[in-house]
């Protein structure tokens, strides 16, 4: 039994955690500083959110370019589309 896999796993988790923290702090700093217009701040928030989702998928859900990972990603994408459709439907029916 080798210790390579646990070391890599711990290293990947720490990298993912560090990236998640940085990608959380950046939007807070952008808004708190007040130097950016609201449109640019929204763009920074959306970009960091998108990158953070990718970081979570890669480092925490362990999705990569393997075949099994593609199947998992397809299931996640399908669930995301369903949630989006339900959210839009719910929002449209509020009025």
What pLDDT score does 94 carry? 75
- pTM (two decimals): 0.66
pLDDT tens-digit map of 55-68:
887 888 776 666 57
- Contact between 48 and 27 under an 8 Å Cβ cutoff? The reply is yes
Tens of pLDDT, residue by residue, the chain (95 residues): 455 556 668 888 899 999 999 999 999 999 999 999 989 998 999 899 889 988 887 888 776 666 576 677 777 788 788 888 888 888 888 76
DSSP annotation string for 15-44: HHHHHHHHHHHHHHHHHHH--S-HHHHHHH
* CA-based nearest residue to 52, from 12, 18, 19: 19
Q: What is the DSSP letter of 65?
A: S
Q: How far is CA 61 from the centre of its chain?
A: 11
Residue appearing with tokens 């701040």: 41
Length of the chain: 95
């Amino acid at each position: 039994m080798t210790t390579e896999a646990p070391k890599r796993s711990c290293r990947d988790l720490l990298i993912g955690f560090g990236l998640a923290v940085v990608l959380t702090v950046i939007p807070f700093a952008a808004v708190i500083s007040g130097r950016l217009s609201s449109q640019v701040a929204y763009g920074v928030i959306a970009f960091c959110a998108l990158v953070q989702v990718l970081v979570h998928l890669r480092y925490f859900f362990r999705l990569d370019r393997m075949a099994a990972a593609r199947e998992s990603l397809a299931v996640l994408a399908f669930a995301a589309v369903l949630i989006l459709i339900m959210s839009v439907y719910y929002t449209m029916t509020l009025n």
